[in-house]
Amino acid sequence: MSNESTASSNFIEDIIESDIRNNKNNGEVVTRFPPEPNGYLHIGHAKSICLNFGLAKKYKGRCHLRFDDTNPGKEDVEYVDSIMEDVKWLGFDWGRHLYYASDYFDRLYDYAVQLIKEGKAYVCDLNADEIRKYRGTLKEPGKESPYRNRSVEENLDLFARMKAGEFANGERVLRAKIDMKSGNINMRDPVIYRIQKSEHHRTGNIWCIYPMYDFTHCLSDSLEEITHSICTLEFENNRPLYDWVLDELKVKRHPQQIEFARLNLNYTVMSKRRLLELVKGGYVKGWDDPRMPTISGLRRRGFTPEAIRDFCERIGVAKADSVVDIALLEHCLREDLNRRAARVMAVLRPVKVIIDNYPEGKTEDLQAENNPEDALAGTRMIPFSRELYIEEEDFMENPPKKYFRLSLGQEVRLKHAYIIKCKRIVKDEKTGQVNELHCSYDPKTKSGSSEENRKVKGTLHWVSAQHAADAEVRLYEHLFSKENPDSGEEDYKKNINPLSFELLTGCKVEPSLLNVKHGTNYQFLRQGYFCVDPDSSGKMPVFNRTVSLRDTWAKIKKKEGK
């Protein structure tokens, strides 16, 4: 269903529409996308971005971009910048609504003081290990901290001194005073402030205590007057704490937290911790390695924002976790690229063809259509001459039956050009490798001309040897060879696909591919979709294979009769 439609299409839209009908929040819809700037965004984040910005658009509200930057040790401006770039590239706009949790540090501190004054928070001297032991388990209730009943005055004094830097990391924390016997472990006096003496990328060294996620998130939502705070399922058990903080502090705005199932994809890992390890450990070439599930990796690979948005819409929003087949993502991409990518000819593993009866020194310009799926895409001219390259695998000396490509004595059509017949093979005397294929052409078979008089089964792509440009081509497969590479049975890095990257140098591409713009998508005829890599130079274009032409998703659906 399209974004523009008014019918609700999932349970979150049902909630929002009911709220609008009841004039809750004056009928306003305000959402937010709250990344922690500790890594690059991935395709899972894209789902959350499309959902939050999509809802704001559909219900004429607004969506904030808020950096959840309360963890100075792990965060960096590099991540902040990349996140903004990726959200924009996906096609969304937060307008003037860019926020940082660190903007609220003063107010969050005041809220914490308010809790202390009301006897609802206390400074605790247990260390992290002890706190864990006292917390109990799902089956056993927790035990109260010996520091739980400190006086308000003592708590205020200690908290101020925590802020002033008098204590070491981990020496003391501030905890909410809730219920150590609660069935929900999150409610057993959770830590809401910790000491961490590290420099923050925005507040520098002003603070040495930092608020925890559960305290920060609900209050940031409330301060920004968010109406619907949408997050992934693992936060379901944090919702009572989200509500407790806002209720106890009697804030004016109490957003509703709604959980949905996160996106999981097969043949991929998606946790930021894992992705960081792949980058730092040199298993990939960076966050934007075209095999990474990051937005920047997908972009470099040649994915379009349209295809990613389409994918996010098709997978929908559910309340139960599932794993989506990466073939669906590729299917959405092929559908989009099929409409927009110009068809060109590129020979990845070239072998020379010499047309003996074609005049030496002659060049013909042949007309080629740019995209049969796009009436406005027009045509271009491609040069044809006596010496050409075709794909090595398009010739076989001893072909099996029903081989319709080139072999001795067999005819094939050269796309946009003539029918040729192979007469003679020249091999390297030592290695036996085919060096040249000597052919003849039939001048009465020019494509599109009135003389074109017969058909043959095979059509090959080719380039003119003297006109072709040299190119480098990078082929990619799934980064992991196992569907579920991170099942916990073994180190997920053992499942990295050793064939996920193949470098082809010495490729020959048609001359229109010199000086092409980074990011442009092409279909190399018969080979797949390719995208111009930023490593390209004026003399040597570099192409990433985005995806092959084989659509396994469409095949699966056909089998299922859908």
Pairwise CA distance, residues 49 & 31, whole Å: 10
Min dist. Cβ of residue 271 to ligand ATP (A): 4
Min dist. Cβ of residue 231 to ligand ATP (A): 5
Min dist. Cβ of residue 129 to ligand ATP (A): 24
Within a 13 Å sphere around the CA of 448, how many CA atoms are in the beta-carbon half?
Answer: 9
Min dist. Cβ of residue 252 to ligand ATP (A): 23
Binding-site string for ligand ATP from residue 211 to residue 250, where x marks contact by CB under 6 A and - marks none: --------------------xx------------------
244 touches 187 (CB < 8 A): yes
271 belongs to the binding site for ligand ATP (CB under 6 A): yes
309 belongs to the binding site for ligand ATP (CB under 6 A): no
484 belongs to the binding site for ligand ATP (CB under 6 A): no
Tokens at residue 338, please?
């099929």
Q: Among residues 81 and 470, whose Cβ is nearest to ligand ATP?
A: 81
Q: Is 48 exposed, middle or buried (0-12, 13-18, 19+ CB in 10 A)?
A: buried
Among residues 32, 163, 194, 272, which one is catalytic? 272
Min dist. Cβ of residue 121 to ligand ATP (A): 24
Q: Among residues 69 and 411, whose Cβ is nearest to ligand ATP?
A: 69
Contacts for 21 with CB less than 8 Å, ≥ 6 apart: none
Among residues 262, 285, 405, 526, which one is catalytic? 262
Q: Among residues 8 and 232, whose Cβ is nearest to ligand ATP?
A: 232
Min dist. Cβ of residue 419 to ligand ATP (A): 52
Q: Is 197 exposed, middle or buried (0-12, 13-18, 19+ CB in 10 A)?
A: middle
Contacts for 84 with CB less than 8 Å, ≥ 6 apart: 65, 98
Pairwise CA distance, residues 257 & 280, whole Å: 35
Stretch that binds ligand ATP, among 12-20, 262-270, 458-466, 476-484 (CB under 6 A): 262-270
Tokens at residue 353, please?
């063809």
Buried b (16+ CB within 10 A) or exposed e, 373-403: eeeebeebebbbbbbbbbbeebbeeeeeeee
Amino acid code (one letter) for 296: S
Q: Among residues 43 and 469, whose Cβ is nearest to ligand ATP?
A: 43
Q: Among residues 317 and 346, whose Cβ is nearest to ligand ATP?
A: 317
Strands 121-124 and 173-176, sheet pairing: antiparallel
The closest alpha carbon to 358, from 252, 258, 464, belongs to: 464
Residue 88 annotated as catalytic:
no
Stretch that binds ligand ATP, among 145-153, 269-277, 356-364, 413-421 (CB under 6 A): 269-277
The closest alpha carbon to 528, from 490, 491, 465, 475, belongs to: 475
Q: Among residues 272 and 478, whose Cβ is nearest to ligand ATP?
A: 272
150 phi, psi to nearest 5 deg: -60, 155
Tokens at residue 204, please?
């520098």
Q: Which residue number has the CB closest to ligand ATP? A: 44
262 belongs to the binding site for ligand ATP (CB under 6 A): yes
Min dist. Cβ of residue 358 to ligand ATP (A): 57
Q: Classify the C-alpha dihedral 19-252-250-104 as positive or negative.
A: positive
Q: Which of 150, 163, 272, 301 binds ligand ATP (CB under 6 A)?
A: 272
Stretch that binds ligand ATP, among 263-271, 282-290, 329-337, 542-550 (CB under 6 A): 263-271
Interaction residues for ligand ATP, span 22-51 (CB under 6 A): 34-36, 44-45, 47-48
Min dist. Cβ of residue 353 to ligand ATP (A): 49
Q: Among residues 80 and 425, whose Cβ is nearest to ligand ATP?
A: 80
Rounded to 10 deg, the angle between the 77-89 and 43-58 helix axes is 60
Stretch that binds ligand ATP, among 185-193, 266-274, 342-350, 518-526 (CB under 6 A): 266-274
Residue 78 annotated as catalytic:
no
Residue 197 annotated as catalytic:
no
Stretch that binds ligand ATP, among 264-272, 328-336, 359-367, 523-531 (CB under 6 A): 264-272
Q: Among residues 48 and 445, whose Cβ is nearest to ligand ATP?
A: 48
Q: Among residues 272 and 416, whose Cβ is nearest to ligand ATP?
A: 272
Q: Which of 80, 156, 191, 270 binds ligand ATP (CB under 6 A)?
A: 270
528 touches 515 (CB < 8 A): no
Among residues 28, 36, 154, 369, which one is catalytic? 36
250: left (phi over 0), alpha (psi -120 to 50) or beta: left
66 touches 220 (CB < 8 A): yes
Min dist. Cβ of residue 263 to ligand ATP (A): 4
SS3 99: strand
DSSP 455-486: --S-EE-EEETTTPEEEEEEEE--SBSSSSTT
What residues act catalytically? Answer: 36, 262, 272
Give residues in contact with ligand ATP (CB under 6 A): 34-36, 44-45, 47-48, 231-232, 262-263, 270-273
